[in-house]
Amino acid sequence: MYTTELSKQPNVQSIEDPERLAAFEARVAADEFIEPKDWMPEAYRRTLTRQISQHAHSEIVGMLPEGNWITRAPSLRRKAILLAKVQDEAGHGLYLYCAAETLGTSREEMIEALHSGKAKYSTIFNYPTLTWADIPAIGWLVDGAAIMNQVPLQRTSYGPYARAMVRVCKEESFHQRQGYEAMTSLANGTPEQKRMAQDAFNRWWWPSLMMFGPPDENSPNTAQSLRWRIKRETNDELRQKFVDITVPQAEYLGLTVPDPDLKWNEAKGGYDFGAIDWDEFYAVVRGEGPVARERMTARREAWESNAWVREAAAAHEAKRRQRAAA
């Protein structure tokens, strides 16, 4: 999932050994991978730690809106698919936490930062999953937008992150297809199912476009991230690509894009679309999303009310070692 924090980075110019910095920049420019033990500028390490951990948090928090429907999935097949999908998200969270740990921050520290509100996660998960149609809509649109962001990250300069993305992208691509397939059933279904499908599409369309982050003119550090190959395309480029691919998919389903200003622009070979409500976006980033409190409460409760399990596992392990040594 895209991290909206990237563009809010403080100025990354720092006092580093100019020779090492130049050598590093040359490696990155030559599309070499940077590995955990390689020297890297502090700002690069910080930016990546933030980006990867936020990506991990997004996967974990993202389990909640979809998990909300596992117990109510309408057929055994849909239940199995949804369980498998949410399990994949947990797996993504796990490899991303591991990738971030290679930069020197522990998983506990990252989780603490999430729970204290210091670390962010994708704004999209602060919207509720109201009906079953939200599950297909998330697969199709949210995972679709995520793939758009993540495919370029398979070529990101930090080796562990790039490699994690290869696997994540394969799974996300399957998620998107299953979402679209499930949406097809609804769009070709009963009037009630069609209504659910259109309503879910209406609610998820704009937040999905916001997933690409603020417009390029308000994303001052994009240039630095592009130069470091942490990011490979700008927010607006990716957003345009997403719209151009998704609109015909919606038309095929007979769904109406909730944007009266949407129209094909022959000259640019893409769609023009209406203004995004950036006030809403920044409000959700600040934690004012409709179910932001629910999400954080659920995560904190899972962590805190089960602390005794982790403590027990550690205590048992210590006793076991002690017995083995005796």
Q: Which of 14, 20, 26, 74 binds other proteins (CB under 8 A)?
A: 74
Question: Which is nearer to other proteins, 74 or 117 (by Cβ)?
Answer: 74
| Alpha helices per DSSP H over 188-274 | 191-210, 222-227, 235-253
Q: Near other proteins by CB under 8 A, which window of 17-25, 58-66, 210-218, 237-245? A: 58-66
Which residues are within 8 A (CB) of 106 and not within 5 positions of it... i.e. 6 or more apart? none
For residue 189, state whether it binds other proteins (rule: CB under 8 A): yes
CB neighbours of residue 263 within 10 Å: 11
Q: How far apart are CA 240 and CA 236, in angstroms?
A: 6
Q: How far apart are CA 45 and CA 258, in angstroms?
A: 40
Q: Which of residues 107-136 bind other proteins (CB under 8 A)?
A: 132
Task: Report residue 119 as tokens.
Answer: 């670390």
SS3 129: coil
Query: Closest Cα partner for 56 from 9, 131, 106, 127?
Result: 106
Query: Closest Cα partner for 3 from 225, 202, 163, 183?
Result: 225
For residue 291, state whether it binds other proteins (rule: CB under 8 A): no
Question: Which is nearer to other proteins, 13 or 190 (by Cβ)?
Answer: 190
Q: Which of 84, 166, 226, 245 binds other proteins (CB under 8 A)?
A: 84
For residue 67, state whether it binds other proteins (rule: CB under 8 A): yes
Q: Strand locations in the chain, DSSP E?
A: 263-265, 270-272
SS3 270: strand
For residue 76, state whether it binds other proteins (rule: CB under 8 A): yes
Convert 295-326 to b/e letters by CB count within 10 Å (16 or more is b): bbebbeeeeeeeeeeeeeeeeeeeeeeeeeee
Q: Which of 1, 6, 52, 63 binds other proteins (CB under 8 A)?
A: 63
Rounded least distance, CB 31 to other proteins, Å = 32
Q: Near other proteins by CB under 8 A, which window of 10-18, 116-124, 237-245, 301-309? A: 301-309
Q: Which of 28, 43, 64, 292 binds other proteins (CB under 8 A)?
A: 64
Q: Near other proteins by CB under 8 A, which window of 145-153, 160-168, 200-208, 311-319? A: 311-319
Q: How many residues does the chain have?
A: 326
Question: Which is nearer to other proteins, 85 or 239 (by Cβ)?
Answer: 85
Q: Which of 14, 26, 29, 77 binds other proteins (CB under 8 A)?
A: 77
Rounded least distance, CB 222 to other proteins, Å = 31
For residue 297, state whether it binds other proteins (rule: CB under 8 A): no
The C-alpha R_g of the chain, in whole angstroms, comes to 21
Question: Which is nearer to other proteins, 155 or 310 (by Cβ)?
Answer: 310
Q: Which residues bind other proteins (CB under 8 A)?
A: 60, 63-64, 67, 70-80, 83-84, 86-87, 90-91, 93-94, 97, 132, 182, 185-186, 189-190, 192-193, 298, 301-303, 306-317, 319-320
